[in-house]
Homo-oligomer: A and B are copies of this chain.
Amino acid sequence: MDHFPKEKTAETRVEMAMTAIRKRIRSRQATSGVRLPSIRALTQQLKISKSTVVEAYERLVAEGEVASRPGSGFYIAGHLPPLSIMENSPTLERDVDPVWMTRQSLAADEQLLKPGCGWLPPSWMPEPEIQRALRAHARPGQANLVDYSTPQGLPALRQRLSRKLMDRSIDATPDQIILTESGTHSVDLLCRFFLKPDDVVILDDPCYFNFHALLRAHRVQVVGVPFTPSGPDLKAFEEALIEHKPRLYITNSGLQNPTGATLSPVNAHRVLKLAEQHDLTIIEDDIFADLEHGAAPRLAAFDGFDRVVQIGSFSKTLSASIRCGYIATKSDWVPEITNLKLATSFGAGAFSQQIALHLLKDGAYRRHVNGLREKLAGAMSTTIPKLEGLGLSIWTKPNAGMFLWCELPDQLDAVQVAKNALEDNMMLAPGNAFSANQTANSHLRFNVAQMSDPKIFKTLEKAMKRASKS
């Protein structure tokens, strides 16, 4: 009997190894083809003997969880569980998970105060103008209400968009434009086009939280590069290019989400030079362009669609319900991106495109965004002192737009503050939801357009006080 404890320990080690292998199977980290770590790799990683790993694998093969192929190692047997983009994240708490943020923002609860929301309140949107456009299109013979749109989308709208881009020195002919359902749909299509599983993508840290969720759905790796008030930190950007050989960089050049910062011309030039040196493609998400007062530099303008692809939409400035986004890219890439769009969503909605065109043509859109800019500037200047009054510091004062990126005093935990606020029916946007490296633990993103209710500041103050005590 004296060898029993030893036996038991060996047994425990085998079980530990089995648990480690099972964990890999469930996490689907092994996306690139169901291959499991080699015996040697696992021996090193788990710091156990080779015979223990062999035993663990043999048992899992016997149980049918793992298949072995002679000479080529071990594979996950049978079917993987379906993809989970929420529970798969090892570093994020549920409360700052990007998907959770999205669900909070979309919650239909009208009582909920939403200073953490990423878009404008419905009352700021041009509802009467849209109603007028709808009535115009409800007349017989006025519009295509039943058929698919053409593969690239309504030619007259692409023409209009081409002229709009020209105003920002971005030279895209209508043939270089593909209409989509939304900005997110545009980015998603481009990810399908450029990425394969396990590729590396650079994101700004912080950046729009849904990029993290979107890229998880593409099974790629994200590298966060610290963002500064004039663009990405160039030293860290270059290091990331050298170390990770990323396929893509996805960014907002103007009124970045969540910081409100705008890329400086010098930074734009340097980013493009590095991109060229390291054969990097850039997706420039320009959905806030119409909220800017003057034409800020755009990567697509500097680059001329050599390695930059630009996307945009009307979701943030016109309506999230009238689905219409676009991709502007070099001509070479247009056919295959269009093919991918057709294969994965067939045609886009002709009707939304017609409504957007109507509002662009009759000047309603221009008047609306002119008004928005004024209103946002006003909200910005009244909100900043109120937040500063509560002890928050503004990371950078944005030129325009709706976002303010703020740091809490005394290194307060933003997740805790957000949790406290939610108990009082207010949704905040904690910094780490935007941060690949989880370096924004004391930051919050605010939307000045959602902060007219004075209750918001009282609730925030209370949530901060409770967090400082805990």
Contact = CB atoms under 8 A, between A and B. Distances in A.
Given A137-B134, A146-B122, A343 B85 contact: yes
Interface in A172-224: 181-185, 188, 192-194, 196-198, 210, 213-214, 216-217, 219
B146 A99 contact: no
Contacts of A306: none
B134 A213 contact: no
Given A135-B135, A217-B192, A127 B145 contact: yes
Copies in the complex: 2
A169 interface: no
A344 B108 contact: no
Contacts of A196: 28, 31, 34, 80, 83, 197, 219
A182 B344 CA distance: 10
Interface string A155-183: 00000000000000000000000000111
A128 interface: yes
Interface in A116-175: 119, 122, 125-128, 130-132, 134-135, 137-140, 144-151
Interface string A6-39: 0000000000000000000000100111110000
Contacts of A146: 122, 125-127, 130, 318-322
A150 B210 CA distance: 16
A345 interface: yes
A142 B151 CA distance: 32
B336 A85 contact: yes
Interface stretch (A235-243, A263-271, A288-296, A347-355): A347-355
A236 B449 CA distance: 61
Contacts of A79: 247, 279
A325 to B, nearest CB: 10
B138 A82 contact: no
B321 A213 contact: no
B103 A342 contact: yes
Given A31-B196, A349-B349, A102 B214 contact: no
A1 interface: no
B128 A140 contact: yes
A144 B122 contact: yes
Interface size on A, as a range, is: 35 or more
A28 B442 CA distance: 44
Contacts of A346: 102, 182-184, 210, 315, 320
A364 interface: no
B192 A83 contact: yes
A86 interface: yes
A433 B26 CA distance: 37
A84 interface: yes
Contacts of A318: 146
A320 B350 CA distance: 8
Contacts of A349: 181, 321-323, 349, 352
A62 interface: no
Contacts of A351: 319, 321-322, 352
8 contacts: A32-B35, A86-B335, A192-B217, A214-B344, A216-B343, A315-B346, A319-B351, A321-B350
Given A102-B343, A146-B318, 6 more contacts: A32-B32, A78-B245, A102-B342, A122-B146, A125-B145, A145-B319
3 interchain residue pairs of minimum CB distance: A32-B33, A125-B146, A213-B343
